[in-house]
DNA sequence: ACTTGACTTAGACATTGTCCATTGTAGGAT
DNA sequence: ATCCTACAATGGACAATGTCTAAGTCAAGT
């Protein structure tokens, strides 16, 4: 189940109740929680966990490369534990629902040298926007 | 010069000193200011302009489709007046510098139906990340 | 020049995120 | 099993960004 926890243990990450709970909350696919949502769920399992710890832990998971920050929402950052399979996002403009998607082709190759302005380009993030079936029905 | 102001007048937008100043500050290419930066520059020309007015005006420009919100930065929203020429962004991961870029191909066509989950997909936003020449030299 | 509805203002408030000094604890050493 | 110690957690202040409201002001039509 918890691939994330396994990987973290394997990397010698010091395990505490708080860190375990944060990792458990984040584990899964199509999971894109904000820091506050992670905190709310973590509190459900470990009521005394503090906001600062959740932020610290999320920051560490990002540094370790086990979780990605995504900016699909224009308000809070969201955290995506699916860091080991490259993917992009499809976002509902109305309700904010997010799905992981896998476009064909490699967008990195689509940026000609003449459009790189001397940058060393290392990464690309693609966000598709639209309306989800639920919102379309309403 | 001010295409943006021209267009706004043409649409019957009620013109006030504050709105004119905000539009002037935003006008140009490769302009990607945060709301606070817009406010700071607007204050330079019209010291009594309030923060709320800048936020309101930016929100209206976005609603009118004359300015785009971009989420390249993970902190504040940025406002891009280059709304009438489709483009994407190239961001320096270190200093945050932003350039408008025009990749070849159409990323919308690269998302197969099987990856659309019933969404009606209307838009795509591509953000390239890398290191700009300045930061690479340092 | 009026009148009126839309615009602006200042500042309180809300949300999201960061920092720091103190207290607690995981995990190795004894 | 217990003790140490470096690392982690806490909570509360602070910072940055954004939203709202009540009251005053003004652009534009008549």
B 57-96 residues with CB below 8 A of A?
Answer: 69, 71-74, 77, 90, 92-93
- Give the residue with minimal CA–C1' separation from C10: B50
State pLDDT tens for residues A101-131: 999 988 999 999 999 999 999 999 999 999 9
Structural domains present in chain B: 3-80 (1.10.10.10), 88-137 (3.30.1490.190)
- Which pLDDT score, from 0 to 100, does residue B60 have? 95
Would you write out chain B's pLDDT as a tens digit for each of its 138 residues? 457 888 888 888 999 999 999 999 999 888 999 999 999 999 999 999 999 999 999 999 999 999 999 987 778 899 999 988 889 999 998 888 899 999 998 899 999 999 999 999 999 999 999 999 988 887
State pLDDT tens for residues A55-99: 999 999 999 999 999 987 778 899 999 988 889 999 998 888 899
Closest to A77 measured CA to CA, from B38, B76, B33: B76
Q: What is the mean pLDDT of chain A?
A: 91
**Angle separating helix axes A51-63 and A35-45, nearest 10 degrees:** 120
User: Which residues fall inside 7 Å of strand D, measured at CB?
Assistant: A 13-14, 16, 18-19, 46, 48-53, 56-57, 75; B 14-17, 34-36, 51-52, 55, 59, 75-77
In this structure, are residues B52 and B39 in contact, taking their beta carbons and an 8 Å threshold? no
- Which pLDDT score, from 0 to 100, does residue B2 have? 56
Measured between alpha carbons, how far is A130 from A93 in angstroms, rounded to an integer?
A: 6
Band of residue A28 on the pLDDT scale cut at 50, 70, 90: confident
The answer to whether residue A2 scores a pLDDT higher than 70 is: no
**Which residue reads 């099987």 in tokens?**
B114
The answer to whether residue A45 scores a pLDDT higher than 80 is: yes
* DSSP track, B33-97: EEHHHHHHHHHHH-TT--HHHHHHHHHHHHHHTSSEEE--SSSS-EEES-TTS--EEEEETTT--
Structure-token pair, residue A107:
């967008």
Measured between alpha carbons, how far is B13 from A135 in angstroms, rounded to an integer?
A: 31
- Which pLDDT score, from 0 to 100, does residue B118 have? 95
Q: Which candidate in A117, A132, A134, A136 is best for mutational testing of the B interface (most B CBs within 10 A)? A: A117
- Which pLDDT score, from 0 to 100, does residue A12 have? 87
């Amino acid at each position: 189940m918890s691939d994330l926890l396994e990987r973290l243990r394997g990397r010698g990450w010091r395990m505490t109740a708080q860190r375990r709970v944060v990792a458990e909350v984040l584990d899964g696919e199509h999971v894109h929680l904000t820091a506050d949502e992670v905190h709310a769920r973590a509190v459900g399992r470990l009521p005394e966990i503090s906001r600062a710890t959740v932020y610290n832990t999320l920051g560490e998971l990002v540094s370790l490369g086990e979780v990605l920050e995504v900016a699909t929402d224009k308000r809070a950052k969201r955290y995506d534990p699916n860091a080991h399979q490259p993917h992009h996002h499809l976002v509902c403009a109305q309700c904010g629902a997010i799905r992981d998607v896998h476009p064909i082709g490699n967008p990195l190759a689509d940026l000609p040298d003449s459009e790189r302005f001397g940058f060393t380009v290392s990464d690309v993030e693609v966000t598709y926007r639209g309306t989800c079936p639920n919102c379309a029905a309403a």
